[in-house]
């Protein structure tokens, strides 16, 4: 997730199909830029969603996302899966 207004923010999630997705990286400014660059280098789809990035940015690293964010994150996971299918 990224927030493309004045202060860039990025949050990386990991989901292996068990439990809830976990926050694996997060940051603002230069750290956010590095998270985004790393994702791009590895072909990881990026979803721009400022509100979701802000909400996920409050979660501690390696913690699962709270139930309140399940629906929004499920939509992002669906987007990622569709993007991966199109890339094949």
Q: What is the pLDDT of residues 36-46, one digit of tens each?
A: 999 999 988 88
Q: Which residue carries 């202060």 as its tokens?
A: 7
All domains of the chain, ordered by start, with CATH?
2-87 (3.40.1690.10)
- Rounded to whole angstroms, the Cα distance separating 68 from 20 reads 12
Tally of residues, the chain = 88
Q: What is the pLDDT of residues 38-73, one digit of tens each?
A: 999 998 888 899 999 999 999 999 999 999 999 999
**What pTM, to 2 d.p., does this model score?**
0.82
Q: What single string gives the DSSP state of each residue in 6-42?
A: SS-EEEEEE--SSSS-EEEEEEEHHHHHHHHHHHHHT
Q: What is the pLDDT of residues 18-42, one digit of tens each?
A: 899 999 999 999 999 999 999 999 9
């Amino acid at each position: 997730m990224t927030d493309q207004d004045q202060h860039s923010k990025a949050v990386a999630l990991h989901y292996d199909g068990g439990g809830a997705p976990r926050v694996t990286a997060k940051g603002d400014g230069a750290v956010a830029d590095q998270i985004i660059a790393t994702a791009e280098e590895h072909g990881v789809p990026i979803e721009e969603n400022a509100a979701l990035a802000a909400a996920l940015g409050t979660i501690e690293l390696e913690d699962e996302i709270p139930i309140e964010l399940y629906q929004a994150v499920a939509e992002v996971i669906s987007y990622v899966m569709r993007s991966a299918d199109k890339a094949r």
